[in-house]
Amino acid sequence: MITKDNFLCPRSRYYGQFTPDNLLFNDNLQEFANRVGYIASLETGGKISPEDSYEQIKALWTKFESASQQLHIAEQTP
């Protein structure tokens, strides 16, 4: 059964090498991508200004980047 949350924010399964850090990174990446998509749609539809969308995406990126650094994902990548 599809719920409202599953419809609005679908999650894809993780196909990479399983580690808790990789799984958490994937979840953070999917959330970041979904939110950027919503912000871009609101800006394209004229509901928010380009400056506001830029600031929101910049804040999301900063949050995503700091979470990624805490997981040390870049150090694990060959």
Using one digit for the tens of pLDDT, what is the confidence trace for 13-41?
Answer: 878 888 888 889 988 999 999 999 999 99
Instruction: Evaluate if residue 64 carries a pLDDT over 90.
Output: yes
Look up the domain containing 43 and give its range. 18-47
Tell me whether residue 3 is in a domain: no
Q: What is the pTM of this model?
A: 0.79
**Quick check: is 75 in a domain?**
no
DSSP states along the chain: ---HHHHHS--PPP-S---HHHHHHHHHHHHHHHHHHHHHHHHHTTSS-HHHHHHHHHHHHHHHHHHHHHHTHHHH--
What mean pLDDT do residues 70-74 have?
75
36 lies in a domain?
Answer: yes
What pLDDT was estimated at residue 13? 80
Domain count, the chain: 1
Instruction: With respect to residue 26, please indicate whether it lies within any of the assigned structural domains.
Output: yes
Q: 16: Cβ–Cβ under 8 A, 6 or more apart, which residues?
A: 22, 26
Which of 1-10, 17-26, 39-48, 66-75 shows the highest mean pLDDT? 39-48
61 within domain boundaries:
no
